Amino acid sequence: MGQVLYGSARTTEAMHRAIQRSQGILEALANVMELARRL
């Protein structure tokens, strides 16, 4: 069974989900760092 690509992109749906999760983690980390910088 071949991999199904996500939309018209060159990534699979699983890879797309992993990228979305990592972007959310990076955003949360940036927020924590900004908060720590203000202390």
pLDDT tens for 21-39 read 999 999 999 999 988 888 7
In a domain, 7, yes or no: no
Phi-psi region of 16 (alpha: psi -120 to 50; beta: other; left: phi over 0): alpha
Please write the tens of the pLDDT for every residue from 4-19: 766 777 778 888 889 8
> Interior CA angle at 20 toward 22 and 12, to 5°?
115
Tokens encoding 34: 């900004």
Q: Which domain holds residue 37?
A: 12-39
Amino acid 14: pLDDT: 85
Domain contains 39: yes
In a domain? residue 3: no
What is the rounded distance in angstroms from the CA atom of residue 4 to the CA atom of residue 16? 11
pTM above 0.75, yes or no: no
Predicted confidence at residue 5, as pLDDT, reads 67
Domain count, the chain: 1
pLDDT of residue 1 exceeding 60: no
